[in-house]
A and B are shown apart, each in its own frame.
Chain A
Amino acid sequence: MDLAMANNVTISVNGDAMEVPSGTTVAALLQLLDVEAAQIAVELDGNVAQRERWCEISITRGATLEIVRFVGGG
């Protein structure tokens, strides 16, 4: 077993600290949070991550994420 994968890292999501397994991708995090991917944008460490790269980008220790949801009401 890959020890690095077994380690958890602390990250910040919309201001709240949370722990995820090291190596978690943005796509996996969204799945973990049960967020509807079609309706959001994700900022990782100050830059919005391109949607098509969510499954490649791994979240590292201390990463700061902001997830914004687009809504239709008005």
Chain B
Amino acid sequence: MKERDLDRYSRQIRFSGIGLSGQQRLLDARVAVVGCGALGSFQAGALLRAGVRHLVLVDRDYVELNNLQRQWLYDEEDAECARPKAEAAARHLLRIDGESQAEPVVADLDAGNIGEILDGVHLILDGTDNFETRYLINDFAVQRGIPWIYGGAVGSYGIAMPILPGSTCCFACLYPQPPAGVQPTCETAGVVNVLTSSIASIQVNAALQLLCGCQCDACIMTIDVWGGGLRRVRQPAARADCEVCGLRRFSHLEGRRRVPISLCGRNAVQIHSLRGPVDLLLLKKQLLPLGAVRANELALRFQVPPYEMTIFHDGRAIVKGTTDAGIARSLYARYVGS
């Protein structure tokens, strides 16, 4: 190890759980952070500072002013320039450590590109904001035998869980189906900024343990920062009848569960949701504080400039103002939930 790195990481090397050999493993590791929002941007910063210089940063969104409350890496300039989050994150990481090898990937992770984007990573950190991508990551990780660490946060409550193919249950063992109907999201239910950094910290801690070759505590951690505190549940054994890790059927990876999107007229895309009926009056209530919204039992129209979303009772939606499937998916995940 270089003299400068011995100094840079001295406090970590001195910690017996990591030591010199653990530090070398961190420096040699290649880790993907999928989603560079509140969870992902914190994870990326913490991993780089710990010595994980080879980071693959995947995100489909741009920095907005309302992100700065909780997305620690970004600043007003990023929001003013509407910089892609993956690129903004890589720029800031390079200022933290000039030897950062972070690779920004501005893309919507899907069945078609996941193999290429995540090729060769040792571990995947979940910083996504939707279940669709998590099931895709779970399929990929189980198929390739790569650990991934789930994390989710809304309001004051969050959850984190490491998934170690071959030794713990997988995401689908515990939670076989994505949720139906309207889901609370950080846009509709809000989020406390220290919640996301707490969940991201729990995820990064598990990542450091795994990367250093230490035993990782296989448990589900939950936290409610507004009351209830930190709780821990032992992870159950993998289910022999689990579609993914038991029967090794990777339907998300094969693209069969992907929500189809099609162009729809000029400058609009249609999301053909597979999620089933949406309670439009409940959704209207959730969206009212966020922008102009009109609804009846059959359809809801929501203005989120420069876009306009029309959501139908069956879960289908038309997003006007873009032809970009990634933006449409992102808006759907943010305002309806997925």
Contact = CB atoms under 8 A, between A and B. Distances in A.
Contacts of A51: 176
Residue from the set B127, B189, B220 with the largest chain A CB neighbour count within 10 Å: B220
B159 A38 contact: no
Interface in A22-74: 36, 38-39, 41, 43, 46-48, 50-51, 66, 68-74
B228 A74 contact: no
Contact of A71 (B40, B159, B177, B180): B159
Contacts of A39: 175, 179
Contact of B151 (A41, A47, A68, A74): A74
Interface size class of A (residues with CB under 8 A): 20 to 34
The number of chain B residues touching the other chain, given as a range, is 35 or more
Given A41-B175, A48-B233, A73 B222 contact: no
Given A38-B180, A46-B234, A74 B159 contact: no
A36 B175 CA distance: 13
**Could you tell me the dominant secondary structure of chain B's interface residues?**
mixed
Contacts of A47: 234, 236
B235 to A, nearest CB: 7
B158 A71 contact: yes
B153 A73 contact: yes
B128 interface: yes
Nearest to A38: B179
Nearest to A71: B152
A46 B222 CA distance: 15
Contact of A73 (B174, B175, B184, B228): B184
Which of A51, A69, A70 has most chain B Cβ within 10 Å?
A70
Given A70-B179, A72-B337, A73-B152, 7 more contacts: A43-B233, A46-B234, A70-B159, A71-B159, A72-B129, A73-B184, A74-B151
Interface of B: 35, 37-40, 126-131, 134, 151-154, 157-159, 174-177, 179-180, 183-186, 189, 191, 196, 220, 222, 228, 231, 233-236, 239, 333, 337-338
